[in-house]
Amino acid sequence: MIAVNSPKVAIYLRVSTDDQNTDLQRSELLTQASLRGWTPVIYEDHGMSGADFDRPALNQLLADADAGRLKVIMAWKLDRIGRSTQHLAGIINRLLRSDVGLVVPSQGIDTSAGSMNPASKLQLNVLAAVAEFERDLIRERTKAGLRAAKARGVRLGRETVVTEAQRAIAQEILQHNPDTSVTSLSKRLGLSLGTASRLKAFMSRSHFLM
């Protein structure tokens, strides 16, 4: 029986296509929540890629965490939350700021003791550090690719239109999902459709995504 004042835990479920279902994720996470005496609140995204940063249920979950309405977030696997390490790093930092725990039972991740607990804080910071390290590697590969492209005489429109950070983010997005639309890319990067289109075409022909 769940106690009246038991902490609320957000159970996040996601499947990539509409013909998939979240039954297995739901069953396992509800069992875990029940064993711990937690009150579960379900947040569910259907037909949403893990590479898509903008997901309605995940956005609401994070807003509720920021507002202090949640104490713990549970997911079946980290890739349910996001496949981009940069995105995961951003989420982890938000959890640290809001003192919200993260539990991924299948991968042995459990910071439900609270982010101020040294062991829990270490786990989250290690995850964030790995994500930051990978982002730095992507940035370095992007710079190397730009130098190589420049040496071959390839130009990417006006050099000041797209920042290095935007190029790195675009590369990560396109590596995970090469079919990302120009419209989606422009919204995520804050670029015009024309610039986003040239950026995508440039990265494809310059072998940045290999």
Q: Which residues are catalytic?
A: 16
Angle at CA of residue 190, ends 186 and 191, nearest 5°: 55
Rg (CA), the chain: 19
Q: Do 100 and 73 contact (CB within 8 A), yes or no?
A: yes
Tokens for 31?
């069992």
Sorted by sequence, the CB contacts under 8 Å of residue 57 that are 6+ apart come out as 12, 14, 43, 44, 45
Token duo for residue 33: 């929540």
Instruction: Report the alpha-carbon distance of residue 63 to residue 70 in Å, rounded.
Output: 10
Compute the distance between CA of residue 125 and CA of residue 120 in angstroms, rounded to an integer.
9
